[in-house]
Amino acid sequence: MKANLSRALKSLHTPVAKAAVAAALSGAVGVAIAAPLIGSTTGAIAADSGSSTWYVSADGHLQQVVQSGSTWVTNDLTARTQALPVQAGSNIAWIRTSTGDEEFYYVGVTGVVTRIQSIGGVWYYDNVQWDAGAPEPHVGTGLAALALPGNHRRVYYVGTDNHVIEIGDNGGATGSGYTDLTAAAVEAHPTAAWPAAITATAFNGSAARVYVFDAEQNLQEFAQGSGWHATNITASSGGRPAQAGSLLASMAYNGSPRVYHFDVSQHVQEMAYGNGWHATDITSATGALPAVLNSSLTTMYAASQPKIYFTTYDNHVRELAWFGGWSTTDVTAKSCSTAAAAGTALSAAGGGTNGYGVYFASADNHVRELRYTNTWYTVDISGAGVATTCAPTGGGGGGGGGGTTHPER
């Protein structure tokens, strides 16, 4: 039955079928913003430079919300492309390719790794796992994706045997294929822990680096070079093992990987590469509050700084930022924003003249933005879409957490 269903669904996204769907559904859509699916920290919100954000609504549809002047409009990309809805618990992995197109990867309701992509402004979907002949994903696996030079795309997930799988799409006639990184690793063959958090970044912008936890909650790196190589970063750095169920986030800072997770005390740990691996307890270094259990975790590079975001016991969004030293800010208090919903996903993006923003869902099922452009303010994207700041009080407040504000602010 499952095989028959798979064949039937696959027939819907052949090149001919996709072209027909795209032609029929390529018109602009602007409707009331659907309520987000909250109660999941697995990254069901994504963002791009403050003009667009994406999230999974309660019906499992991928929703794109675009700022148009002073208003926000939404496109239901699942309905638009007739793609599979998102499986409960799946995160969204987003990339922008070297040609400027956007791609989203997720696990669909049938348990297949699915992609919704924009090519020349037209939206399509395909099931990249089937196309590559890759193994099935483990139920609840995380996903990560990379856009590499030459319009090469990579997506990573954990298979049913707890092996780390890479699907490679070279953006040309070569099509796609897959690699079992766990089996391919030269030094060792670490299997991923469960739940299977995963993140990926690129060393010097071109060499893939993929990170998971092993069964002992040690951070493992799969590094692309002359073949694939596995390293136990927790052991190499002297860092602390992760809290079971911790999420992962990563970035490349000056070309070198930085990886973040929660330890058993819910402190944010950084694993940074520079002539070897080095561990830092950023929570202790800043005096920040620990993250709430099952907090989401996201990171970005903006204003020449690595920035990390998570939530605390009071459902406030907190920032840890590097600016010649680590500092902490209660962003919810700084912006006088509505608190986040318990269990919300987080996403962050930005840069350039528009500053940067953090996106979350609040308890009233609204998608909200916390944005910094010389000062912190908040936008209820699902509501009026109007930016509001704290009322003048002769000095403002930084909120709880025992933290300091950024030295440059």
Report the domain count for the chain.
1
Is 371 within 8 Å of 356 (Cβ atoms)? yes
DSSP secondary structure code for residue 120 in this structure: T
Strand-pairing partners, residue 119, are 122
Residue 169 lies in a domain: yes
Residue 355 lies in a domain: yes
| Range(s) of the domain holding residue 347 | 2-388
The 367-372 sheet, strands edge to edge: 347-350, 356-361, 367-372, 376-380, 387-388
Q: What is the model's pLDDT at position 36?
A: 60
CA distances from 276 to 3, 144, 294 (A): 47, 24, 30
Distance CA 128, CA 167 (A): 8
The string of DSSP codes covering 229-283 is EEEEHHHHHT-PPBPTT--EEEEEETTEEEEEEEBTTS-EEEEEESSSEEEEEHH
End-to-end CA distance of the chain: 60
Residue 398 lies in a domain: no
Distance CA 298, CA 349 (A): 10
CATH number at residue 59: 2.120.10.70
Residue 125 lies in a domain: yes
Q: What is the model's pLDDT at position 72?
A: 80
Dihedral, CA atoms, 167, 170, 171, 173, nearest 10 degrees?
A: -110
DSSP secondary structure code for residue 389 in this structure: -
What the block records as the tokens of 393 is 């009080």
Instruction: Give the phi and the psi of residue 64 in degrees, each rounded to 5.
Output: -105, 130
What the block records as the tokens of 360 is 């979350």
Distance CA 136, CA 163 (A): 11
Q: What is the model's pLDDT at position 15?
A: 33
> 1: burial class by Cβ within 10 Å (0-12, 13-18, 19+)?
exposed
Is 158 within 8 Å of 198 (Cβ atoms)? yes
Residue 406 lies in a domain: no
Is 105 within 8 Å of 115 (Cβ atoms)? yes
Residue 402 lies in a domain: no
Residue 325 lies in a domain: yes
Q: Give pLDDT tens digits along the chain (409 positions).
A: 333 333 333 333 333 333 322 222 222 233 345 556 544 434 456 666 556 788 888 889 998 888 777 778 888 999 999 999 999 888 889 998 888 888 999 999 999 999 999 998 899 999 999 999 999 999 989 999 999 888 889 999 999 999 999 999 754 444 579 999 999 998 877 788 887 899 999 988 888 999 999 999 999 999 998 889 999 999 999 999 999 999 999 998 888 999 999 999 999 999 999 989 999 999 999 999 999 998 999 998 887 789 999 999 999 999 999 988 999 999 999 999 999 999 898 988 876 556 888 999 998 888 899 999 889 999 998 887 888 999 886 544 444 333 333 333 3
Instruction: Give 136's contacts (C-beta < 8 A, 6+ positions apart).
Output: 111, 112, 129, 159, 160
Amino acid residing at 387:
A
Is 341 within 8 Å of 315 (Cβ atoms)? yes
User: Of the candidates 97, 139, 124, 131, which has an alpha carbon nearest to the alpha carbon of residue 10?
Assistant: 131
Amino acid residing at 177:
G
Residue 219 lies in a domain: yes
